[in-house]
Amino acid sequence: MARKTYYGPIIDVSFDGAICQHSGECVRGMGEVFDTTKRPWINPTQANTPELADQLRQVVGRCPSGALEIGEHWSRP
Ligand code: SF4
């Protein structure tokens, strides 16, 4: 499966399902962004304040497999 990007107002999140270990860190860490009952199951539009964006960065940082990655808007070309 190819890496797919989900866009938000402050940061984007990309996900590669081929390397996800299904540990659930993301869902436990920030259920309003990572909700497997919804489609798409990653919704970075919920992280719409600097504080929530920081929380999302931390949750993505705890992803053990590297399946999740953050895309910072300031780093876009
Ligand atoms: S934290 Fe990473 S490895 Fe774990 S379920 Fe979420 S995406 Fe998959």
Structure tokens at 25: 């860190």
Q: 4-75 has which CATH code? A: 3.30.70.20
Residue from 15, 63, 69 to probe ligand 1 pocket by mutation (most atoms less than 8 Å from CB)? 63
Look at residue 1 in the predicted model and tell me its pLDDT.
Answer: 65
Quote the percentage of the chain above a pLDDT of 90: 90
Per-domain residue ranges of the chain = 4-75
For the CA of 66, the nearest atom of ligand 1:
2
Span 8-32, pLDDT tens digits = 999 999 999 999 999 999 999 999 9
Helices (H), 8-49: 25-29
Give this prediction's pTM: 0.92
Distance between Cα 27 and ligand 1 center (Å): 8
Tell me the C-alpha distance between 24 and 4, whole Å: 18
Q: Is residue 11 helix, strand or coil?
A: strand
CA 30, chain centre distance (Å): 9
Q: Residue 73: pLDDT above 90?
A: no
Look at residue 76 in the predicted model and tell me its pLDDT.
Answer: 60
Span 50-59, pLDDT tens digits = 999 999 999 9
Question: What are the pocket residues of ligand 1 if the criterion is a CB atom closer than 6 Å to any ligand atom?
Answer: 20-26, 63-65, 67-68
